[in-house]
């Protein structure tokens, strides 16, 4: 077997299961999980109808590049959303089976092991960045996301000699688990660093449509390129998904867009990989990318939950004001995030994810996720607010 498999760390939810093993929560309280970022809102109905209407096309092999209609719908959406004057549906867009699969596959295709192969990832982070790097023979470079820098990496703190060994830099904006949004000037700073040191910028933007202020849309990497007049999006790729935007995590549908040379190489890799999206799923995806009304309704539902939960928890917990995504990132009393999560489960039957499980020791050997927990506000309003009431009760009870 591939010896790099031994370098993989347990997934955060494996660690959480071990943490909760042997704990018996109160039988009279229903379990409320705030752990997995799986949307519980109703999936976009028109997408499901399109899927059902085209089930007969399961009898056909799909093309790796997707249909022209799907690429066209994706390109049109991206041009509208990010004010792009140009995005070539044929050369600069590639449909994929969700961002997780695409991010993993892209690292395998892009990393050159014949030279130093570091991949910079935000810390804490979505663990697929690290796993993909290790299995491609690379070395993760953890860029700490601390409160003093708005829970975003401090790019200026990275020495030039470190950048020289970096081949890929991952950006996650809005951030998981922090919800932080990377400003357009920082994205442009990263683009300039990519030019200087010849690395690829890979932006995971799967939470881009879950923002709380309708007048403050999170900027995207291609938008930052376009503002610099770089319509070829050189060295830049974005990853988008319908999972969060349209509550369709089971559809496994997304896209990669940007630099045409990178897209062409990645398409070639995927032709051998054998991971083309089935035609019924492509029809469902077209319906989803062409509609914005359901996305606005989705944001409204999250906005209502954030308001209710913030009102309950702000008096007892410290957390950054949410900008986007569906997470809260509070600091826990006492600073021991794992102990807090275990006790909350034991006494209130609410599950949360310890922040240290999503990070690695960075500067000075300190894990920047330690002392915080991630709350995924994905359930319906009633269950989410009940979880917040129990969480507050736990904090007040333990002092």
Mean pLDDT calculated for residue range 255-260? 98
Mean pLDDT calculated for residue range 95-107? 96
pLDDT score recorded for residue 398: 84
Give the CATH class of 56-291.
alpha beta
CA–CA dist 173, 180 (Å, integer): 7
**What are the tens digits of pLDDT across the range 291-303?**
999 999 999 999 9
**What are the tens digits of pLDDT across the range 120-153?**
999 999 999 999 999 999 999 999 999 999 999 9
**What are the tens digits of pLDDT across the range 273-284?**
889 999 999 999
Residue 183 burial by Cβ neighbours in a 10 Å radius (0-12, 13-18, 19+): middle
CATH fold label, 3-42+294-398:
3.90.1150
**What are the tens digits of pLDDT across the range 46-75?**
999 999 999 999 999 999 999 999 999 999
For the chain, the domains span: 3-42+294-398, 56-291
* pTM for the full predicted model: 0.97
């Amino acid at each position: 077997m591939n010896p790099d498999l031994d370098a993989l760390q347990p997934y955060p939810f494996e660690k959480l299961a071990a943490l909760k093993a042997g704990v018996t929560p109160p039988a009279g309280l229903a379990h409320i999980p705030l752990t997995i970022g799986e949307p519980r809102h109703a999936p976009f109905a028109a997408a499901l109808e399109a899927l059902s209407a085209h089930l007969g096309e399961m009898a056909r092999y799909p093309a790796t590049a997707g249909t022209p209609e799907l690429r066209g719908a994706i390109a049109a959406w991206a041009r509208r959303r990010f004010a792009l004057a140009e995005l070539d549906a044929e050369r600069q867009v590639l449909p994929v089976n969700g961002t997780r699969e695409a991010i993993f596959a892209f690292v395998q295709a892009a990393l050159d092991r014949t030279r130093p192969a570091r991949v910079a990832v935000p810390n804490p982070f979505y663990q697929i960045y690290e796993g993909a790097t290790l299995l491609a023979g690379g070395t993760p470079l953890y860029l700490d996301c601390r409160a003093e820098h708005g829970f975003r990496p401090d790019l200026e703190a990275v020495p030039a000699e470190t950048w020289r060994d970096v081949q890929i830099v991952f950006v996650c904006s809005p951030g998981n688990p922090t919800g932080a949004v990377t400003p357009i000037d920082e994205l442009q700073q990263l683009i300039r660093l990519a030019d200087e040191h010849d690395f690829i910028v890979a932006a995971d933007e799967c939470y881009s449509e879950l923002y709380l202020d309708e007048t403050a849309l999170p900027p995207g990497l291609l938008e930052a390129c376009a503002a610099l007049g770089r319509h070829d999006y050189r060295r830049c790729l974005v990853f988008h998904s319908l999972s969060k935007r349209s509550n369709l995590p089971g559809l496994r549908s997304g896209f990669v867009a940007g630099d045409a040379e990178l897209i062409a190489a990645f398409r070639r890799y995927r032709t051998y990989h054998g991971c083309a999206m089935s035609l019924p799923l492509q029809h469902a995806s077209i319906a989803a990318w062409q509609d914005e009304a359901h996305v606005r309704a989705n944001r409204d539902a999250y906005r209502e939950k954030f308001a209710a939960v913030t009102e309950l928890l702000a008096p007892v917990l410290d957390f950054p004001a949410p900008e986007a995504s569906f997470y809260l990132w509070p600091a826990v009393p006492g600073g021991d995030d794992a102990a807090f999560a275990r006790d909350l489960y034991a006494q209130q039957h609410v599950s949360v994810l310890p922040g240290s499980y999503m990070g690695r020791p960075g500067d000075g050997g300190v894990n920047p996720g330690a002392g915080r927990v991630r709350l995924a506000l994905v359930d319906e309003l009633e269950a989410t607010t009940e979880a917040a009431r129990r969480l507050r009760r736990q904090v007040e009870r333990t002092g």
